[in-house]
Amino acid sequence: MQFSPPTASGQSVSTTRRVYEDLRDLILTGKMLPGAKLKVDTLKEMLDTGASPIREALSLLTSDQLVERIDQRGFRVAEISATQFREILKLRCALEDMALRESIQNANKDWEETLVLAHHRMTRTARSQVSEFERQHKAFHMALLSACHSPILQKFCDRLYDLNIRYRHLAGRSEAYQARDVSKEHADILGAAMDRDAELASVCLIQHYRRTGQFLVERLEEHQLSASTA
């Protein structure tokens, strides 16, 4: 396997960072199932590196709630549950609502431009280019919150976004999801934000999340997605 090519900027990145990003990607996209054992030796081989960067990366992922560590018993991919998914959804609605309103309150030209650009890039990326689209999608959602002047809150939202996307990947693509006019939902959020209509923007955003959440809860409750039960 070959991961993370050297960054375009040419700067050599630390192995730890590379490993962290690769592992996070594997977990978020569901390539590593919940509950799966993360053996240091296996990962060493897979990512072609020593034990130290692996363990450091796993420690970071632990704080992201993507990996669970049990003293003297190693690391495993964090478990999932319908209960946790509902918790994430609820928190996302509460925190992003807060951040979005503040963002709109502090709105300025720079923010508008960043936002329009992020939206444009997302719409220009084909849905078939899954990982690239996901990147742009996240960038758009984070751009919405970027003017809220609260780095910690943004960080919390970023975390929750990642936790959520993991569930989305694990649940698999649903036809119902495709049927929805997600593009219009995004456009509506953008429109409301540009109009500085905090109320409307918040409603649109939360609707957007709730709709997606709807399907996922249903799918999660029927399927049992875990490496420990497999």
Partner DNA sequence: TTTTCACAAAACATCGATAAATAAAGACTA
Partner DNA sequence: TAGTCTTTATTTATCGATGTTTTGTGAAAA
5 counts as binding a second copy under rule CB under 8 A: no
Token digits of residue 12:
């050599």
9 binding DNA? (CB under 7 A):
no
DSSP assignment of 161-217 equals: HHHHHHHHHHH---HHHHHS-HHHHHHHHHHHHHTT-HHHHHHHHHHHHHHHHHHHH
Nearer to DNA, 23 or 144 (CB): 23
Helices vs strands, H then E, count in the chain: 10, 3
Binding partner selected for residue 183 from a second copy, DNA, none, CB under the kind-specific 5 to 8 Å limit: none
The one among 23, 27, 34, 55 contacting DNA by CB under 7 A:
55
Return the H-helix or E-strand segment holding 98: helix 82-105
For the bound state, the minimum distance from the C-beta of residue 139 to a second copy, rounded and expressed in Å, comes to: 22
Q: Can you say whether residue 48 is alpha, beta or left, with left for phi > 0 and alpha for psi between -120 and 50 degrees? A: left
- For a second copy, the closer of residues 141 and 159 by Cβ is 159
Residue 5 engages DNA in binding (rule: CB under 7 A): no
**The pair of three-digit structure tokens given for residue 104, joined into one six-digit string:** 């709109």
Q: Give whichever of 73 and 109 is closer to DNA, judged by the CB atom.
A: 73
- Contact flag: residue 7 with a second copy (CB under 8 A): no
Amino acid at 90: K
Binding string to a second copy for residues 54 to 83, with x set by CB under 8 A, is what?
-xx--xx-xxxx-----xx-----------
Does residue 230 bind DNA (CB under 7 A)?
no
